[in-house]
Structure 1
Amino acid sequence: MAAVALTPGQSEALSELAEIVRINDRRIRIEDVRDPQQEGQPLAVDMTIDCRGETTTDSSVRLEDWEPVTVLVPPRFPFEHPEVTVPHQRFAGLPHVMWADAICLYLAANDWDPGRRMHGFVGQLLTWFEEVARGTISGPEVPWHAPLTHWRTGEYLMIRTDLPESLENDRGLWLALAVVESIGGGLYDVRRWLRGRDEADEIRAWHDRRASEDDVDARTGIFLAPAVALPEPVGFAYPNGREELLAALAGQGLAHQDYRELREFTRDFNRGIRDGDGQAPDLLLLGSPAPDRYAIPSRIAHVAAWALDVGEDHDEVGWLTVFDQRPRITTRRDTTRPAQWLVGKRILVLGCGALGAPTAEFCVRAGAAETYVVDDGKVRPGVLVRQPYTFEDIGRNKATALAERLSVINPDVLVPSGSFDAISLINGDPPMPEVDLVIDATANRSVASALEWARWTAERPPPPLLSMMVGHDCERAAATLALPGASGAGIDILRRLGIAASADANLYDLLDDFFPGHPRGAPFQPEPGCSDPTYVGSAADLTAFAGQLLNDGLAILTSAEKAHGRAFPRRWASVARTSTAGAAGAARQRLSWANDHVRLDPVLRYQMRVDPAALASMRREVALMADRRGPHVETGGMLLGQIDRASRVVWITDADGPPPGSAASAEGLMLDPTAARGWARRRRRLTRGMVAYIGAWHTHPDYLALPSPVDRRAMDEMASDGMPVLLMILGGGSGRLSRWVAGNGLPDMHLQLFFPGPEDGRDASVLP
């Protein structure tokens, strides 16, 4: 047969080799050049390398004076690296040697630098021989290569389940059974390992019960395959002939009688079982250990799958391609990344839109045990530009369509769905599932308020809550994370982020995006009709933001778990920006806050959250008044914050001294409400309404923290202009006030809301 023409790359490689030989004429010789005989074959160059006198006493292999090698130059050189083989097996077992005669100079394709061409390749080869000669060669920290199997059937076997400990600890020859499921399309999945035939009875009973319940004649899907664990390494390749393979197995102790009996048992068990492609296949799984020099974390380093019923009319053995994904020997590609926190966790994702859908997919791919998706919306044509739905999904419920798609990514992850609104779930209809993390991706204020209320009124400690949102032009995104024990959740932390942004030039762009002071002039309405005004953003934008925000939240959760009881902030916020946001702040920022001091109004059932900074301001004012007018004179001032009547939360963010027009004496403190609100107007404007006048605080230096009749009349008068107000009293009973001023403990605190209307101060608008 006439040789085919060399490719330009092969011709250049041959010229480069000739130049290398000329430069290194005393170390390298070209003995023969064999052109490819067919299109696509490599160019073979037989060479010898001078190794005279280089072998040391530390070397495990003594090199010949001239070592022969064959360099195989692929047609696509230099964009594909050459291979090198030797015509003997003296290097078998050395690092980088595969199948006894192939020297693997590159662990991965990316290790090859095409720019260095043959000079780089020959340099790598010479270095390998030098290290062998000195006895300094070391192997890569990867498992030994699987024994080579030859003729492939085109089918695939996936193994995702570790061997039982009893089999892992058995170093001898053992026979077991694999429970295999047919996935379809020539793909099979090992679901369980059985020690013996007795354990197969439960599989048989399951089959029979299923056939009876489904009223079907043929059992489907699950079948058995015998598994043999060999006590010694196979070597670099399995025999290609049937009789030769059986002889090799017998040489390791597998008696022909045992093999036949096990095969007959599984054939009898599998009779009548069909997979999606017809009759269940007849397989034999062969497990082999690695050589002693390799530290493999499993008794079985590699598994091969022999298709017993393929090629029975001739001697050649047929093999399945095996994807060995056993956790014991497989290193996940996302190991050490924040997504590792999700492994085995139960996740609830509220909202299956542009942020929620990719976030749910990230959870499934990470290996969460369960990813519950909830959304009552339907797929509209306009969302296809940025949400992972298809044309065929239009009109379907988002949660249902998403769950169907995610369930085929990882069959081990449950993806239940709920086609109802998130508020119903939060309110317990249906009951909220027990999960390890709640992700609110609805960007809905009502959902956030319902979550805020539900979390502080819950009887049991709630799980962490990660809330995500993007800005109106998709240039910024933010997430809040409430860890277990946090004094507030999504609305609480987002509000805290907004207050921080009002005082920080590096965050100020967030105010206009997430807390606009007035309605936007031209709301973006993507579709005609009754579609909700939304934001501009592409699939690339939203997927990138979803990944960043989720990663940051998971990194914080991981750090919190590693804190092991040490002080760790409970409230967090993350900010992400695009490169075109044009803001002073960094592309990614993370902020955290200590918990507020929490008290409850037992009558109205409002939760009061006092910022430590506000309490510190009160302490300074009390100390100042004690120095000026004596410890028995009441003092106080304004309370600044916000009253949220939906989540029934009152935030006391700051405290000022008494405004102009106030009177303080030993008998009490009187504030002018009009002057107080005017005094706080600038702060309200700067914070977009998040810090405004909400009431008054004062001290009872010599009495308990309980409102007097004078206090009640004063608060009723302050609430007479139609706005609810808060009364906060710091009491001095048992000397607690003076100890607090001195820096010890907290004072007695009384917090009570006063609403316009009923004299008892109850909120008639929300209470029966």
Structure 2
Amino acid sequence: MPPRELTQAVDTLAQLDAVTVREDLRQKEDGRKWILKVQLRLTDPPADTQVPRETDWYVLIEDTYPWGSIEIHPSKENSITATFPHQRRNHPGSEEEPWRNGNICVSQYGHILGRSGAITEPRDPDERLRWHLERAVAWLETAANGNLQQPGDPYEVPEFDTRAAPNRTLAFNETYDSFEDWQSVSGSWGTVELRQLAEPTGTLATGEFRDLDDHVIHQPEWGDYIKDNTEDVFHGAWILLDSTPFEPPWEAPETWRELENVLEDAPIELYELLGKVSSTVTEEDIQILLIGFPIPEEIGDPDALIRWQAVKLPSLKQPAEHAGGFRNTERNREILARVDLVNKEIQWLDSENWAHEQLARRGSLSKPLSETKVLLIGTGALGSTLAECLVRGGVQELTLVDGETFEIGNLARHTLTLPDVGEEKATALAERLQSLTPHASVEAITEDFPPTDESRDAVASSEIVIDCTGSNAVLGALRRFPWKQPTLFTSASMGRRGNRLFVYSAYDTAFPHNRFREALEPWLLQERLEWSHGEDAVPERVGCWHPASVIRMDRVTTWAGTISRYLDQTTDLGHGQSKLTVLETQAEGEVPLVSEAEPPFQDSIEWASADSSITVRIPAGRLAAVKDLCAEAKEVETGGILAGTYFSGGEALVVRATDPPSDSTHGPTTFHRGTEQVDEWLQAANERLGIQYLGEWHYHPAAPPEASDDDYDEMVSIATNESYHCPDPILVIIGGSPPDDLSVNVYVFHREGDFEELHRANPEDEPEDSQ
């Protein structure tokens, strides 16, 4: 039996005129999802649309409802068969199931599917399923009218069918700068070097692109990993289009005949391209075709990037191998390529942009740090962990200096692993760091600082130098070393038990060792006093005593992450400036001391119901801002919308109150709140802050803050309009004469048609600045 919450949710679908339940709920065999068949009806679809007036759909609901996913798939019978924007590839899917795979996206793109009021997905069991189906109807109506893509939407590429070539991936490297380079390319096709990587298995990385005259026109810039892990190099073909090769409404071609149709306006005919390129590469080489096209970042924006989509070609016979035999001419190769391919399905390859600016969008460091040549001295516990933070954060050019060997005892507090035992630390760490990104170039210098003459030039040209050795000898050598330019120096070390982090930075022509010691000496004395009676090291081995610090890896990672953030803040130091930062927590072995944050919105003013648990809280600063708007309005009414969030138990918190929209009308005794940019504002507030529409605020100049008949009618209309998704809208009325004689009343209206006037809770607690 379906759970009661789900059956009640299905019952609420009767409220939607455009939705009819066709079959009762049934459970999938694996028990993880419930299946509901529905029919969706459009009011007045265009005559030329691919969307029928009535379509059948299957709703797949996780058994954790009201939590978990809700998917809406077209039925295999009496539904849409095309693929539209904001939809998975709409292919028939499994033979055992009656639905297609074209799940539609209704939980995003609120400014397209939203109506007046909030667009936040509800979590109430009685509302969530109905919300999804209501938006499915809106999605279908928008699809029928061809309006699913709107300016400002993130640009998306249709889903390509890669099932026929599941173990191949193309990694290309296209940036905003390379897009400009491609704009000046006169040719439209040629050959491309493809590097087959040892890992990830089946991955091909693009190398040199050559035109029809065999001139190099584009060379992607890769890091050491691509260069050092290339198993084989062969050639494929490329063609660059002026527009996207998609079939309407929004799907990738699935056969060579379909691809030929969408390439009608291409700079060169498809089979002519294959005939020409096959004369310059061997049959085995021409197994991959790259189809390139320009794309924007957002709908409506100019094109900004080149997107490559790879195709795996079937084996093409040489002309002489065809029945009857043919001369090996370009024209014959073109004709025979058409014969071989025209009725075959395309084997698309997964194709991904591995450009640095695309991969580094998650948690990247600032450009002054990531695009600078960095030297890291010391690859022990702190140094190795910091190096990983830097490379994962986007640092592309890093040199490591360390003359030590990785030992078994280092495993407890290092990023290297068992296979690295006995290897030189710098070399092993460089190899590991190169595997973190296709763009890092990491050089290892396997000697102590300062290096010998052979490596001095590479070190001297560094722009940022980080010391993680904790060695006074190294710091002295930093002062004496002949740097080629002013350099940003940073020395980072932990206290004897890891409870402190010392970070000293200076921008100068040499490391200011004397200033560093003066700044650090009081702290070193404090460290000696604190640990003079305690053990801060343990013997690592039996026999001769080998001291080893007791600092744990969790503390090392905490401080390494802190240093990487700190480095981002020190790149603006002026010449000759220096700074010491000391961060402190509790001693090793104890839970780190974390101060308790003050609960937010403690200055809120609260209104409560005398008959229910409903409360409304408004921060004093927000209420003061609304009163300022009332003062600006002077003798005419004004108002705006309220946004915030509901907590459990009927508590509402208002965190935003808007100015009156620009198309509002104001009068001495009337105000009509406009709608200009309201939906857009609500969408942005929901996506960035997670808040939703809560109600309205009005100002009654020189009058009591009491709801008028017009106010009552407006709020009842909002409460009963389900498109607002706000069954209990709030009305805040400010009345009186600004600035000092203003008072506030708060009302809550209900979908059933009644309302409550709330009263101030603890009025003596109101801050003075809110009066």
**TM-score using structure 1 length:** 0.58
Provide the C-alpha distance between the structure 2 equivalents of 1:180 and 1:254, rounded to a whole number of angstroms. Answer: 22
Provide the C-alpha distance between the structure 2 equivalents of 1:396 and 1:293, rounded to a whole number of angstroms. Answer: 48
**Aligned runs of 1:14-413 on 2, under 5 Å?**
15-22=7-14, 24=15, 26=17, 28-32=19-23, 44-49=35-40, 52=43, 69-73=57-61, 80-86=68-74, 96-97=86-87, 102-107=103-108, 116=124, 119-127=127-135, 129=137, 141-153=153-165, 154-162=167-175, 164-165=178-179, 168-169=182-183, 174-184=188-198, 185-199=201-215, 221-233=232-244, 234-235=246-247, 236-250=250-264, 252=266, 254-265=268-279, 267-268=281-282, 282-290=287-295, 294-295=299-300, 298=303, 302-309=307-314, 315-326=344-355, 330=358, 332-334=360-362, 337-413=364-440
Tell me which of 490, 515, 540 is aligned to 1:492. Answer: 515
Provide the C-alpha distance between the structure 1 equivalents of 2:210 and 2:89, rounded to a whole number of angstroms. Answer: 32
Provide the C-alpha distance between the structure 1 equivalents of 2:373 and 2:238, rounded to a whole number of angstroms. Answer: 34
2:237 counterpart letter in structure 1? P
Bigger RCO of structures 1 and 2 (CA < 8 A, at least 6 apart): 2
Provide the C-alpha distance between the structure 2 equivalents of 1:461 and 1:452, rounded to a whole number of angstroms. Answer: 13
| Helix, strand or coil at the partner of 2:537 | coil
CA shift, 1:358, in A, is: 1.4
**Aligned runs of 1:487-566 on 2, under 5 Å?**
489=512, 492-493=515-516, 495-499=518-522, 511-513=525-527, 516=529, 519=532, 521-528=534-541, 529=543, 533-557=547-571, 559-560=572-573
Alignment deviations for residues 195-254 of structure 1 (CA, whole Å, 9 cap, x no partner): 334226999xxxxxxxxxxxxxxx972222212233333143323334443444347564
Q: In 1, are the aligned partners of 2:538 and 2:550 still within 8 Å (CA)?
A: no
Q: In 1, are the aligned partners of 2:242 and 2:266 still within 8 Å (CA)?
A: yes
Provide the C-alpha distance between the structure 1 equivalents of 2:585 and 2:568, rounded to a whole number of angstroms. Answer: 21
- In structure 2, what is the equivalent of residue 448 of structure 1? 475
Provide the C-alpha distance between the structure 2 equivalents of 1:400 and 1:353, rounded to a whole number of angstroms. Answer: 13
- Change over 3 Å in CA distance of 1:84–1:568 after alignment to 2: farther
CA shift, 1:352, in A, is: 0.8
Provide the C-alpha distance between the structure 2 equivalents of 1:29 and 1:160, rounded to a whole number of angstroms. Answer: 49
Q: In 1, are the aligned partners of 2:171 and 2:351 still within 8 Å (CA)?
A: yes
Q: In 2, are the aligned partners of 1:81 and 1:114 still within 8 Å (CA)?
A: no
1:414 counterpart letter in structure 2? S
1:537 counterpart letter in structure 2? I
Pick which of 545-554 and 391-400 moved more: 391-400
- In structure 1, what is the equivalent of residue 697 of structure 2? none
- Change over 3 Å in CA distance of 1:141–1:91 after alignment to 2: same
Tell me which of 571, 574, 581 is aligned to 1:574. Answer: 581
- In structure 2, what is the equivalent of residue 659 of structure 1? none
1:240 counterpart letter in structure 2? E
Q: In 2, are the aligned partners of 1:177 and 1:197 still within 8 Å (CA)?
A: no
Provide the C-alpha distance between the structure 2 equivalents of 1:172 and 1:19, rounded to a whole number of angstroms. Answer: 63
| Helix, strand or coil at the partner of 1:469 | strand
- Change over 3 Å in CA distance of 1:21–1:183 after alignment to 2: same
CA shift, 1:551, in A, is: 1.2
Provide the C-alpha distance between the structure 2 equivalents of 1:587 and 1:477, rounded to a whole number of angstroms. Answer: 18
CA shift, 1:186, in A, is: 0.8
Alignment deviations for residues 420-461 of structure 1 (CA, whole Å, 9 cap, x no partner): 11244699878734111111000112212222344xxx4744
| Helix, strand or coil at the partner of 2:348 | strand
Tell me which of 489, 492, 495 is aligned to 1:471. Answer: 495
Alignment deviations for residues 365-394 of structure 1 (CA, whole Å, 9 cap, x no partner): 334332111112222222101111222322
Provide the C-alpha distance between the structure 2 equivalents of 1:63 and 1:175, rounded to a whole number of angstroms. Answer: 38
Once the two structures are aligned, what percentage of the paired residues are identical? 18
Q: In 1, are the aligned partners of 2:160 and 2:348 still within 8 Å (CA)?
A: no
- Change over 3 Å in CA distance of 1:444–1:338 after alignment to 2: same
1:103 counterpart letter in structure 2? I
CA shift, 1:18, in A, is: 2.1
Aligned residues: 525
- Which structure 1 residue ranges, 5 or more long, are not aligned? 1-7, 204-218, 272-279, 502-509, 561-566, 589-768
1:31 counterpart letter in structure 2? R
Provide the C-alpha distance between the structure 1 equivalents of 2:513 and 2:404, rounded to a whole number of angstroms. Answer: 22
Calculate the aligned-residue CA RMSD, in Å.
4.7
- Change over 3 Å in CA distance of 1:428–1:416 after alignment to 2: closer
Q: In 1, are the aligned partners of 2:505 and 2:578 still within 8 Å (CA)?
A: yes
| Helix, strand or coil at the partner of 1:410 | coil
Provide the C-alpha distance between the structure 1 equivalents of 2:485 and 2:562, rounded to a whole number of angstroms. Answer: 27
Alignment deviations for residues 592-638 of structure 1 (CA, whole Å, 9 cap, x no partner): xxxxxxxxxxxxxxxxxxxxxxxxxxxxxxxxxxxxxxxxxxxxxxx
Q: In 1, are the aligned partners of 2:540 and 2:548 still within 8 Å (CA)?
A: no
Provide the C-alpha distance between the structure 1 equivalents of 2:163 and 2:155, rounded to a whole number of angstroms. Answer: 23
- Change over 3 Å in CA distance of 1:291–1:434 after alignment to 2: closer
- Change over 3 Å in CA distance of 1:16–1:140 after alignment to 2: farther
- Which structure 2 residue ranges, 5 or more long, are not aligned? 91-101, 110-118, 220-229, 317-339, 597-771
**Aligned runs of 1:585-600 on 2, under 5 Å?**
none
| Helix, strand or coil at the partner of 1:355 | helix
- Change over 3 Å in CA distance of 1:106–1:395 after alignment to 2: same
CA shift, 1:13, in A, is: 7.9
Provide the C-alpha distance between the structure 1 equivalents of 2:453 and 2:8, rounded to a whole number of angstroms. Answer: 71
2:350 counterpart letter in structure 1? T
CA shift, 1:524, in A, is: 0.6
- In structure 2, what is the equivalent of residue 725 of structure 1? none
Provide the C-alpha distance between the structure 2 equivalents of 1:571 and 1:398, rounded to a whole number of angstroms. Answer: 30
Provide the C-alpha distance between the structure 2 equivalents of 1:429 and 1:172, rounded to a whole number of angstroms. Answer: 44
Provide the C-alpha distance between the structure 2 equivalents of 1:17 and 1:115, rounded to a whole number of angstroms. Answer: 11
| Helix, strand or coil at the partner of 2:234 | strand
| Helix, strand or coil at the partner of 2:508 | coil
- In structure 1, what is the equivalent of residue 625 of structure 2? none
Q: Which has the larger radius of gyration?
A: 1
Q: In 1, are the aligned partners of 2:416 and 2:428 still within 8 Å (CA)?
A: yes
**Aligned runs of 1:659-678 on 2, under 5 Å?**
none
**TM-score using structure 2 length:** 0.58
- In structure 2, what is the equivalent of residue 417 of structure 1? 444
Provide the C-alpha distance between the structure 2 equivalents of 1:530 and 1:551, rounded to a whole number of angstroms. Answer: 40
Provide the C-alpha distance between the structure 1 equivalents of 2:560 and 2:269, rounded to a whole number of angstroms. Answer: 57
